[in-house]
């Protein structure tokens, strides 16, 4: 008997959003289409819609990230939800109360959604498997595992600039080993049917299993981005590295830092992306990050619409397509 995806309700609609892996192309497209409907809200004089009025969204951040938390908070408020930010390091869990106790107390306050960021892989799944039936859980990044809303805002940005996914060749450059963003991007890109996904980086930062995800591996930046439509640069995940996996940041920049000269081998209309925050002069040169082919700031803007889409779909404000 096939095990039901915990992320979907019995009708195949989105209940939690924990990972892109295992979701159907139809559902991913539905998220993108729903985000498109919200994209114009940010340009309105009143930047709100009433879809989640009366609902309460709790940002449970066990790992700091001002930018991600802020975009989730803005997304929830633009849907007219009430937002509660819980600083876990200062909460009862640091005083001996268990995580499940904390969740039970929040549930007793009639909260509707937990947006969870945690430094341990699988934390969001654990929480989703223990919450009350009426509560939805959104994974805002867990360990080295997944960051599904980041992947979907990246997909939204790519679709805005390139249209159909099918003919595209996309290169992901950098610390693939420790990047939850890269894993989620790969699953999203392959599910949406891109022609080719390439991963590029030093051997020490490319996991051995990566070939099983249907990608092509390159250790030369120039060869890896030759002729691609999209270049996604990743941040070096120093906080998740164990041991000396890089000789130095200077050496990394020399081999894998994206400069205008290196970018010249990609397609002339190739766009450059980065999930942020950027380490300038390490992963990418400022002339590229601020240049005409960079869509990095657009990614941030699109992130609000995508997170509005996921929240509204999970809480029933929008109907999601069936997923697998």
Question: How confident is residue 59, by pLDDT bands cut at 50, 70 and 90?
Answer: very high
Residue 73 lies in a domain: yes
Q: Is the pLDDT of residue 44 over 90?
A: no
Both 63 and 181 in one domain: the answer is no
Instruction: State the total domains in the chain.
Output: 2
Letter string b/e over residues 42-64, b meaning 16 or more CB atoms within 10 A of that residue's CB: eeeeeeebebbeebbbbbbbbbe
Both 63 and 184 in one domain: the answer is no
Residue 109 lies in a domain: yes
Q: Is the pLDDT of residue 251 over 90?
A: no
Both 157 and 273 in one domain: the answer is yes
Both 172 and 129 in one domain: the answer is no
Q: Is the pLDDT of residue 37 over 90?
A: yes
Both 162 and 276 in one domain: the answer is yes
Residue 241 lies in a domain: yes
Residue 16 lies in a domain: no
Residue 13 lies in a domain: no
Q: Is the pLDDT of residue 1 over 60?
A: no
Name which of 167, 229, 247, 174 is nearest 205 in CA terms. 174
pLDDT digits (tens, 9 = 90+) for 96-114: 567 788 888 888 888 999 9
Name which of 68, 76, 43 is nearest 308 in CA terms. 76
pLDDT digits (tens, 9 = 90+) for 232-249: 999 886 654 555 567 678
Region of poorest pLDDT, from 36-40, 137-141, 221-225:
36-40
The domain containing residue 136 runs over which residues?
A: 25-146+301-314
Q: Is the pLDDT of residue 317 over 50?
A: no
The whole-model pTM stands at 0.92
């Amino acid at each position: 008997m096939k095990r039901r995806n915990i992320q979907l309700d019995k009708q195949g609609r989105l209940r939690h959003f924990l990972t892109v892996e295992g979701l159907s192309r139809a559902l991913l497209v539905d998220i993108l289409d729903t985000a498109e409907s919200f994209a114009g809200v940010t340009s309105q004089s009143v930047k709100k819609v009433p879809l989640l009025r009366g609902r309460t969204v709790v940002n449970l951040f066990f790992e700091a990230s001002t930018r991600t938390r802020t975009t989730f908070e803005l997304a929830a408020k633009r849907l007219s939800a009430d937002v509660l930010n819980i600083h876990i390091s200062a909460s009862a869990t640091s005083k001996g109360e268990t995580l499940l106790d904390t969740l039970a107390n929040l549930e007793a306050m009639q909260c509707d959604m937990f947006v969870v960021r945690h430094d341990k892989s699988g934390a969001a799944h654990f929480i989703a498997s223990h919450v009350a039936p009426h509560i939805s859980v959104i994974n805002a990044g867990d360990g080295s595992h997944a960051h599904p809303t980041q992947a979907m805002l990246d997909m939204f940005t790519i679709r805005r600039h390139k249209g159909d996914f099918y003919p595209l060749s996309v290169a992901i450059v950098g610390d693939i080993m420790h990047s939850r963003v890269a894993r989620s991007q790969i699953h999203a890109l392959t599910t949406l049917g891109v022609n080719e996904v390439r991963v590029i980086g030093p051997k020490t930062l490319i996991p051995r299993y990566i070939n099983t995800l249907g990608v092509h591996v390159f250790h030369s930046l120039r060869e890896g981005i030759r002729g691609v439509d999209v270049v996604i640069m990743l941040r070096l995940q120093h906080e998740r590295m164990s041991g000396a996996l890089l000789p130095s940041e200077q050496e990394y920049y020399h081999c894998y830092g994206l400069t205008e000269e290196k970018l010249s081998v990609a397609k002339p209309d190739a766009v450059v992306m980065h999930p942020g925050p950027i380490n300038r002069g390490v992963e990418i040169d400022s002339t590229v990050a601020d240049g005409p082919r960079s869509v990095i700031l657009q990614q941030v803007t699109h992130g609000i619409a995508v997170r509005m889409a996921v929240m509204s779909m999970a809480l029933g404000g929008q109907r999601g397509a069936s997923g697998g």
